[in-house]
Chains A and B, each alone.
Chain A
Amino acid sequence: MDAPLVERIGSSLGVEVGVSHGMPVVQIAPGQLLDAVRVLREQFGFDMLLDVTAVDWLGQEPRFEVVWHFFSAGTQARVRVKVRVPESEPVVASLTSLYGSAAFMERECHEMYGVRFAGNADLRPILLYEGFVGHPLRKDYPKEREQPLIPYRDA
């Protein structure tokens, strides 16, 4: 683990940077996201957005944790960025202005968790179909619920 990298990220962003299984973890406030990612991209060379997902901590406040993974094709360093957003206003900034790969992954995260990505113009369903009600990866969405497009036949 590259200890100076963790320290340098921490001092540049002005936040505490943790390390989880060898990967720097940056926890920031929703409002700082775009600026922080811009710093990561321009100063630390994190030019690839690998993954966007979320975790639903039902019962905690703020409820949702949105998680990004970045990779630097130059130095092969990785970093994880996490933002907590409340259920009442699950909005974070979209990274589509910085990374092309954000478009598809934000669409998936949006339909699965109901987290809105402000600035992503195309948040149509991607894995689900149009007209699907609810956000299936939320912990309060029952696994057994069915929304068939075509009614089942009586057997």
Chain B
Amino acid sequence: MDKPIPNPVRSALQPSSEDDSRVIVNIGPSHPATHGTVQIITELDGEKVLRADVHCGYLHRGFEKECEAHTWHNLIPYVDRLNYCSALINDFAYCGAVEQMMGIEVTPRTRMLRTLLSEYSRIADHVTCVAAGLMELGAMTAFLYLMTLRDYIYEHLADVTGARVTYSYGRIGGLARDLPEGWLKRLEEILDEYETYIGRIHGLVDRNRIFIDRMRHVGVLTPAQAINYGVTGPMLRSTGLARDIRKDTPYLAYADLDFEVPTGILGDNYDRYVVRMREMDESVHMIRQCVDLLPAGPINVDDPRVSFPDKGLVYNEIESLINHFKLVIDGPRVPAGETYYSQEGANGELGFYIVSTGEGMPYRVHCRAPSFIHMGVTHVMLEGGQLADVVPTFGSVNMIGGECDR
């Protein structure tokens, strides 16, 4: 191989003038202060950021291409690896899209369980974002408190899904398995722990002079900018617009739940922190309602097109054996057509645009990844700020590499 190695930095910003005071500074792609592999090239005047150019793609692994070579079922583990902080929401959004194409309505228990687990994942995701953001500002205590809490959640999710981070728990038309014995009791304990730990975070940082100075009026996004750049999720709500798919066009069981959509007032880093903290409180409130409302019953739909037959029948009955075989080898046949289905992910609108030609494998799977679209607006938030503010502002965007780069 004598091909020259292309240099991704080379095509970056050229200095906008001959002025000696301007300097180009490259941050990343692997930088200790950015969580996620991303490269930010900035043009500075002193310490002021004049222009910023955000490069992503360092975690690109051809998710969409790979999906086209797997059956509708078999690509669920890939979907998990998009937003690995809240993998369950990805699972459920993808399954929801396929179910919409096939006209499947999930069972009441699955609907409630998916809602519960989505909100539980949302807590884990927001905890990660807040914790990492605080750590980057030097608040190691707060980081460790939140990581302790996140680990309770991860261990607890491992009890039901079998894995800590990437669960592959969603199934088209249902879930992989039902809750184990005693899971809801432990859930109640963790939600109590949540209140203790989050109370400590509020006490440590909410009115902390250093925290406010670093976060208030930093990385400001106006509602008009947010709309123009397609911003969704907590970032949009921090600007004051109460847009939330869970409230606007309820899916799963959100129509039955009582919750508020918290909003910010300034759209700065501090508001993004507050919105995430309040959203977690709302999630806890929703989880408690889900536990109360959780109906008994089956978790998988009784539909031979997607649901695997009972193992006992597979061993003893030729029709079930064939059904099982066809589902594994050929995959479920999704009627030809296309759909765009979106759920409120932890970072914003997580949409799946899927195209089927009636085969067992998708013709096209496209993920509308909120992190990627938010990377397109990050330069607006960085420009005009200080170099040191790049880190907290970037942290408050909560870019998740797996989802952004796909």
Contact = CB atoms under 8 A, between A and B. Distances in A.
B202 interface: no
B65 A143 contact: yes
B249 A48 contact: no
A79 B251 CA distance: 18
B332 to A, nearest CB: 17
A69 B366 CA distance: 12
B364 A55 contact: yes
A20 B337 contact: yes
A50 B227 CA distance: 10
Interface stretch (B56-64, B165-173, B307-315, B319-327): B56-64
Chain B: interface secondary structure? mixed
- Residues of A in contact with B, size category: 35 or more
B230 A49 contact: yes
Given A20-B337, A105-B373, A136-B62, A129 B353 contact: no
B225 A50 contact: no
Contact of A48 (B230, B337, B339): B230
Contacts of B339: 20-21, 23
A10 interface: no
A104 B373 contact: yes
A51 B339 CA distance: 13
A86 B267 CA distance: 43
B355 A128 contact: no
- Residues of B in contact with A, size category: 35 or more
B391 to A, nearest CB: 21
Nearest to A53: B366
A3 B248 CA distance: 19
A76 B7 CA distance: 43
A25 B337 CA distance: 12
A84 interface: no
Interface of A: 20-21, 23, 47-51, 53, 55-56, 67, 69, 73, 76, 78, 80, 99-101, 103-105, 108, 112, 124-131, 136-137, 141, 143, 148-151
